[in-house]
Amino acid sequence: MKNIIIITGASSGFGQLFAMELDGLFTSIDEYWLIARKTDQMLETSKAIKTPCRILSLDLSVRSNVKEIIKAVERYSYDCEDDVNIKMLINCAGYGKLGDFATIDEEYTSGMIDVNISALTCITRDLIPYMRKNSRIINIASAAAFLPQPGFAEYAATKSYVLSLSRALNVELRHKKIYVTAVCPGPAKTNFFNIAEENASSPWYKKFFFADPKKVVDKAIKDCMRKKEVSVYSISMNLLRFFTKIIPHRIILKFYR
């Protein structure tokens, strides 16, 4: 049996950290598959970990590139003498864009749907047949999934989809003993905001809630191993989740901006 871990968005941020942290935890993984647009950064990551890595330089906003991942797994499975088991699939690829919905360039609005929703959905669906008992799926959602966010409307909507899909799949796949965890971080110190804030700035108060991405990833791994359906790091984000459950969103939105 060939055990592999597939990570999208693996060139930086959460994706890169998952590769680094998991390599120190597991000794039974034969290969890490790192998928992102930036080849050089993934090569640097591959040099920093002990397990062999396969680099796939792909832009997941392009549908044919998403299919290329599936084809690569199929070819790998055909070439291997042993069965292939995707021990973990970690969907980190995604981005957001701050600003009023009507003013954001169409390239970004369609791209957010293509990467945050379509690519994640297709990759997950088509790779499930290669997963065995006790495999894991980790999907990076966001605390933005907990309620609509004016000024970040489309991104929050895409992450609500990721959260809802993950929770449903966790139930659907339970009979196969495949477990799905949605990770819902708040603001974190990654390069996410380099793109998000190109045309608009985050609310001033968000700087007080920035989390260490390594701690977010460490908790996500622990929660995933414990078969938790949702992983939320920090007291503040857990409080946000709690209050958005008990207070109607229409009331919260009156004070949002």
Backbone angles phi, psi at 210, to 5 degrees: -65, 135
Cα(first)–Cα(last) distance of the chain, in Å?
A: 53
- Which residues have CB under 8 Å from 93's CB, separation 6+? 8, 9, 15, 35, 36, 60, 115, 119, 120
Residue 5 vs residues 24, 147, 153, 244: alpha-carbon distances, Å: 13, 31, 32, 34
Asked if residue 204 has pLDDT above 80, the reply is no
Structure tokens that stand for 155 in this block: 């991104």
pLDDT-derived band at 195 (thresholds 50, 70, 90) equals low
Asked if residue 154 has pLDDT above 70, the reply is yes
Find the mean pLDDT for residues 20-31.
91
In the chain, where are the structural domains located? 2-254
Q: What is the pLDDT of residue 197?
A: 46
Asked if residue 203 has pLDDT above 60, the reply is no
The Cα 71–Cα 68 span in angstroms is: 5
- Which residues have CB under 8 Å from 194's CB, separation 6+? none
Find the mean pLDDT for residues 131-157.
95
Structure tokens that stand for 124 in this block: 């997950």
β-sheet bridge partners, residue 179: 136
Find the mean pLDDT for residues 144-156.
93
Neighbours of 214 (CB within 10 A): 14
Asked if 19 contacts 7 with a C-beta cutoff of 8 angstroms, the reply is: yes
Asked if residue 193 has pLDDT above 90, the reply is no
Asked if 102 contacts 150 with a C-beta cutoff of 8 angstroms, the reply is: no
pLDDT-derived band at 159 (thresholds 50, 70, 90) equals very high
Find the mean pLDDT for residues 114-134.
96
Asked if 193 contacts 202 with a C-beta cutoff of 8 angstroms, the reply is: yes
pLDDT-derived band at 186 (thresholds 50, 70, 90) equals confident
β-sheet bridge partners, residue 180: 137
Query: 3-state class of 155 per DSSP?
Result: helix
Tell me the CATH number for domain 2-254: 3.40.50.720
Asked if residue 96 has pLDDT above 60, the reply is yes
Q: What number of H helices and E strands is found in the chain?
A: 10, 7
CA angle centred on 169, ends 167 and 172, rounded to 5° = 120
Q: What percent of the chain has pLDDT over 70?
A: 90
Identify residue 45 by its one-letter amino acid code.
Answer: T
Contacts 24+ apart (CB under 8 A), 168-171: 169/124, 169/137, 170/229
pLDDT-derived band at 191 (thresholds 50, 70, 90) equals low
Q: Within its chain, how far is the Cα of 94 from the centroid? A: 7
Q: DSSP letters along 54-82, please?
A: EEEE--TTSHHHHHHHHHHHHHHHHH-SS
